[in-house]
Structure 1
Amino acid sequence: MTAKKIKQLEIILSIAALLLVGLGLFIHGQTAGKQTIIQLRLPRVIFALFGGSMLTVSALLFQTTLRSDYIDGSMLGLASGAELVIALVNVLFSQLLSYRVLIGALTGGLLLVILRTTLFKVKRSSFFLILGGLSLALLFVAATQLITTGSGFQGKSLSNTTWTDLWFLVIILLSGLLLLLWQWEQFKGFVLPSLQAQQLGFNEQKSSLVFQLVAGMWLGAVSAVLGTVFFVGIVLVQIVKLSTKVVAGQRIFLTILTGGCVLVCADDLAHYLIPSQELPTNALLMLLTAPLILFLIMRWSREV
């Protein structure tokens, strides 16, 4: 895809994002005053827009630095690990729930550091990394279900998003962007084949630390509110990659817009689909992206 067509697609997605955000500000089934929209709807739709972008960029960073198209943070156990910690906080220290986005981000970062000293280090191929990550993710999911049974824990919807959640998300988003800008020249090294990069003295393990840390913290922050969404990052990043056929650095803005649009769309559907009832946002998000997984599998099977 040419640079001009990518720019046109970015403009279209930007307009779509604005329309979806505008739609999300309305409240169905009741007369909504200005304060109701500001307190209930506005933080939710902005969180969805920023959170979707962080979700997909996180997957892009992992896929690029780990050199695998089949990986995102949910498959490495980071999202479900953050959700598990929030569930524990909900049961044991409920007074700290207002800091859940910050706690989720710190959990994602900590788990990333642990993975870099264990699973990332001993992997022999992406297959073993995926297998080990999924095992860890399933363990965390099972533990979360056991802990939250009968507790009324709701960690899979944006319906209870607050301004506090949004402010913490913005702080974490901006902090991550500063780190990415600081190390962006290093990111270009991952465009080269691994062997060629090593011959030029490029240390992948060291250079990937900041990018993976940002990816882990962003995913943890979003998962603290949204819950775990498997495969969504992989699907959206790969759809953008197949559509544009350019390197990661040149499609990052398109990836940001795609993630934001899809999550806002999923949250709008969760809010409006059934009158007087809120559906889980993460379930709608996975429902929207599930058909795309089959498309990608067929594409990948032809390449093998």
Structure 2
Amino acid sequence: MNRQYFSFIGVSTLLLVAIYISINTGSIKVSPLELFTGLILGAEGDIEVIKDLRLPRIIISLFAGAALSVSGVLFQAVMRNPLADPSIIGVTSGAGFMSILLVTIFPTLFFYMPLFAFLGGALAFLLVYMFSWKTGLDPLRMILVGVAINAVFSGLSQSFNYRGSYAVTSVSQATTSTLEMKKWSDVEVMVTYGSVGLIIAMFLFAFCNYLAMEDKTAKSLGVRVNQARFIISAVAVLLASVATAIAGMIAFIGLIVPHIGRILVGTDHKKLIPFAALAGAFLMLAADTLGRTMIAPNEIPASILMAVIGGPFLIILIRKSGQLYGN
């Protein structure tokens, strides 16, 4: 209990520190009091620059990291597989592809981009389920099929690079995680859809705990297993899709954070889901802040940093997967 308590305190503290550092990283630096009074009273100058350029980027990073991490927790609960991640099983690439289609064909429907991304993510997840089913769902088969689905949608997205400059701009926004020049309209979309998904996810902890059991055991307790899987999967797809539509394709964050969360706060999803949201927000903001300062004035996308971190982590996790989830 003490470790869980201190884990929440620790990650919350790190998150607040990361927000403060991100706000003051760059040529403009302000104190918390100056920032607060400036935002309330509408001060001009440096505060306006921070408000229009840095704050939207910070807020999107926080919500995207939280959404992808919680999505990873939910997918791992549904599949009973610690290797499940929205990027590995093709959900983010499917969502990114549909986002590209929307922006290219209907550029005025930007606010509805997450809905189209949700359809793309849901399609990818449905394909994974369909092609993985063979007298039951095998966790390893689902991961392998997911990798193939991810490759297909990623290839389709990259094909837009050869369809003109406007499409190239759309592809860059939807397939990379460079968060520069994000606007408050992006924040509105991210916060609106992301908040809905995160709030619903918080109330699904009991279903996630039941799905950790064998299906027969869960059914004997009165749980409608298939219905629970459908609801949890839908929320997970929504979270991954909205993050992809606004922040771009970011791999491994939905894999790393849930695993760390299980080590620090345990497997009870009542604690794991909120911890994953906090830790994911911190990790994403830290990666984005580091990426924009390492080689300033140029930037390294957060997706690249997460790939560098997540690749070795995935290898370690695969090697130890036989000790997880009782496999």
TM-score, normalising length from structure 2? Answer: 0.82
User: Is 1:154 paired with 2:172?
Assistant: yes
Gapped runs of 5+ residues in structure 2? 30-44
Quote how far apart the aligned CAs of 1:13 are.
Answer: 0.9
Residue 59 of structure 1 and its aligned partner are, at CA, apart by 0.7
284 and 217 in structure 1: CA distance in 2 versus 1, 3 angstrom threshold: same
Once the two structures are superposed, the pairs formed by residues 116-265 of structure 1 within 5 Å of their partners are 118-119=130-131, 122=134, 124-149=137-162, 151-152=168-169, 153-155=171-173, 156=176, 157-180=178-201, 183-265=204-286
Q: CA deviation at 1:144?
A: 0.8
2:81 aligned counterpart, secondary structure: coil
Which residue number in structure 1 is paired with residue 86 of structure 2?
Answer: 73
- Give how far 1:164 is off: 1.6
Is 1:73–1:219's contact at 8 Å kept on the other side of the alignment? yes
The 1:206–1:119 alpha-carbon spacing in structure 2 relative to 1, beyond 3 Å, is: farther
Matched residue type, 2:309 = L
1:49 aligns with 2:62: yes
Which string of whole-angstrom CA distances, capped at 9 and with x for unpartnered residues, describes residues 72-94 of structure 1? Answer: 22222110011112222333333
The CA deviation string for residues 104-146 of structure 1, in whole angstroms up to 9 with x for no partner, is 245334554x348724655541122112111111000011111
Please give the alpha-carbon distance, in whole angstroms, between the structure 2 residues aligned to 1:15 and 1:242. 19
Comparing 240-249 with 79-88, greater Cα deviation is found at 240-249
| Percent identity for Structure 1 against Structure 2 | 23
Over 3 Å counting, the alpha-carbon distance change for 1:9 and 1:242 in structure 2 is closer
Which deviates further from its counterpart, 159-168 or 8-17? Answer: 159-168
Does the C-alpha gap of structure 1 residues 196 and 49 become closer, same or farther in structure 2, counting only changes over 3 Å? same
Match of 1:17 in 2: 15
TM-score normalised by length of structure 1: 0.87
1:272 counterpart residue number: 293
Cα 1:170–1:118 change in 2 (3 A) is same
RMSD (Å), alpha carbons? 2.6
1:211 counterpart letter in structure 2? I
Cα gap change, 1:129/1:226 in structure 2, threshold over 3 Å: closer, same or farther? same
For the Cα contact (< 8 Å) 2:202–2:270, is it kept in 1? no
Letter of the aligned partner of 1:171 in structure 2? T
| Closer, same or farther: CA 293–187 of 1 in aligned 2, 3 Å | closer
Unaligned runs of 5+ in 1: none
Is the contact between residue 76 and residue 132 of structure 1 (CA under 8 Å) also seen in structure 2?
A: yes
Residues 186-206 of structure 1: per-residue CA shift (max 9 Å, x gap): 334224333321333433111
Which digits, 9 at most, give the CA deviation of each residue in 1:175-226, with x for residues without a partner? 2245345555433422433332133343311112211111101100001133
Q: How has the CA–CA distance of structure 1 residues 120 and 205 changed in structure 2, closer, same or farther, with 3 Å as cutoff?
A: farther
The whole-number CA distance in structure 1 between the counterparts of 2:142 and 2:316 is 23
Question: Paired residue for 1:59?
Answer: 72
1:171 to partner: Cα distance? 1.6
